[in-house]
Amino acid sequence: METRILKINSEDIDGEAIEKAGALIREGELVAFPTETVYGLGGDALNPEASRKIYRAKGRPSDNPLIVHISRFEDLKPLVKEVTEDVGRLMEAFWPGPLTLILKKSGLVPEETTGGLPTVAVRMPSHPVALSFIAAAGGYVAAPSANVSGRPSPTKAVHVMEDLGGRIPLILDGDDSQIGLESTILDMTAGVPTILRPGYITQDMLQKVLDQVETDPSLLRPDCKEPPRAPGMRYRHYAPRGELTVVEGAPAAVIACINDLTRKARSEGKRTGVLGTKETEKEYAADSIKSVGERRDEEAIARNLYRLLREFDEEGTDVIFSESFHGGSLGQAVMNRLLKAAGYRVHKVHSLKSEE
């Protein structure tokens, strides 16, 4: 199958192009589209055959449920058993935007879309191209991130082409994703609302709207006995092809340690990569050194992370050493993705004498 990329200007949306994309979805086909978080691989959420196609195209296990994307508030009600006051408040505060809500599903949503679960994940993205496309597609678009299962999520149309070229008829190109990490997932079905995947909307932000919000304990402690409640968080994920190790500790000690590890890997004939910041990139000696941006600019770190992991792959990097990016309001979301990408391979270093 030939895959076309159609460039859409967010400020002046080409109605005809959107109508064509919407028609493909209504016919049961798949279309990749931009959102403010990452690119999505869309299919008709109410058509079980379209959901099966999504799983096939991504190579994704079919027990890992999809997020249903909507473009209007009033389209939520038919999907779910109940829209509580709390859910209404969350929609007012965060939709359209990077928040996904898990709710009890109605009979309208096929089990193929929810991976057999009695609940459904729903989100209204804020990207103008996504909103027009969802409306043209009939209002309900099931979409996982548009990567092959296990690879970093796509933040550019060319990333989607790399992964899904030849498997889908159309990619809508709406420029680079602004946020760069997938939406926050909040489970509203079990007692206290619980964050199942951290993202741009943080626990602090949610707590301004709801009395109580918890975070799934398995996110805070990867060695936790409890399995994560979002099925997708169980899989190794977001991973580059090279072996990634995160190095944690005081800044000077981290630089020294990464340089040691790099030297050793190079002496074994490996192609090496380092993921650092604008402040530290000059300190390293590796085959490929990349900067996520200034350390204090956490939005840039979130936006650049997946793209840089993909670039290491393109360059055939065998081993990658990364600084860690804790702290700030996005630190939890960034580190959640980075540690998963590293398969939780972490090298902790003690501070150098001069830093004590």
The correct pick among 102, 160, 164, 305 for binding ligand TXA (CB under 6 A) is 102
Backbone angles phi, psi at 24, to 5 degrees: -55, -45
> Binding pattern to ligand TXA, positions 130-159, x when CB under 6 A?
-------------xxx--------------
> Binding pattern to ligand TXA, positions 300-319, x when CB under 6 A?
--------------------
Give just the sign of the alpha carbon dihedral 35, 37, 42, 48: negative
Look-up of token digits 């990569």: 273
Q: Does residue number 332 form part of the binding site for Mg ion (CB under 5 A)?
A: no
Spatial distance between the Cα atoms of 81 and 119, rounded to a whole number of angstroms: 9
DSSP-assigned letters across all residues of 219-259: HH-TT-SSPPSSGGGGS--S--SSEEEEEESSHHHHHHHHH
Nearest residue (CB) to ligand TXA, 290 versus 337: 337
Residue 320's binding partner, choosing from Mg ion, ligand TXA, none, with beta-carbon cut-off 5 to 8 A by kind?
none
DSSP-assigned letters across all residues of 167-190: TSSEEEE--S-SS-SPPEEEE-SS
Residue 183's binding partner, choosing from ligand TXA, Mg ion, none, with beta-carbon cut-off 5 to 8 A by kind?
ligand TXA
Q: Does residue number 277 form part of the binding site for ligand TXA (CB under 6 A)?
A: no
Q: Which DSSP letter does residue 2 get?
A: P
The correct pick among 17, 25, 50, 67 for binding ligand TXA (CB under 6 A) is 67
CB atoms within 10 A of CB 268: 10
Nearest residue (CB) to Mg ion, 295 versus 310: 310
Q: Does residue number 35 form part of the binding site for ligand TXA (CB under 6 A)?
A: yes
Give CA separation, 28 vs 22, 93, 262, 314, in Å. Answer: 10, 33, 49, 33
> Binding pattern to ligand TXA, positions 170-189, x when CB under 6 A?
------------xx-x----
Q: How would you classify the pairing of strands 99-104 and 184-187? A: parallel
User: In whole angstroms, how close is the CB of 306 to ligand TXA at the nearest point?
Assistant: 11
Which residue is at the shortest CB distance from Mg ion? 145
CB 231 within 8 A of CB 116: no
Total residues contacting ligand TXA (rule CB under 6 A)?
28
Using CB under 6 A as the binding rule, the residues of this chain from 205 to 264 that contact ligand TXA are: 230-233
Q: Which DSSP letter does residue 60 get?
A: -
Q: Does residue number 100 form part of the binding site for ligand TXA (CB under 6 A)?
A: yes
User: In whole angstroms, how close is the CB of 145 to ligand TXA at the nearest point?
Assistant: 4
Q: How would you classify the pairing of strands 214-215 and 194-197? A: parallel
Nearest residue (CB) to ligand TXA, 143 versus 308: 143
Spatial distance between the Cα atoms of 256 and 284, rounded to a whole number of angstroms: 9
> Binding pattern to Mg ion, positions 124-163, x when CB under 5 A?
---------------------x------------------
Nearest residue (CB) to ligand TXA, 229 versus 290: 229
Nearest residue (CB) to ligand TXA, 105 versus 295: 105
The correct pick among 18, 37, 194, 309 for binding ligand TXA (CB under 6 A) is 37
Give CA angle at 85 (82, 88), nearest 5°. 85
Give CA separation, 143 vs 17, 186, 226, 277, 316, in Å. Answer: 19, 17, 27, 32, 30
Chain residues binding Mg ion by CB under 5 A are 145
Chain residues binding ligand TXA by CB under 6 A are 35, 37-38, 40, 64-67, 100, 102, 114, 117, 119-121, 123, 125, 143-145, 182-183, 185, 196, 230-233
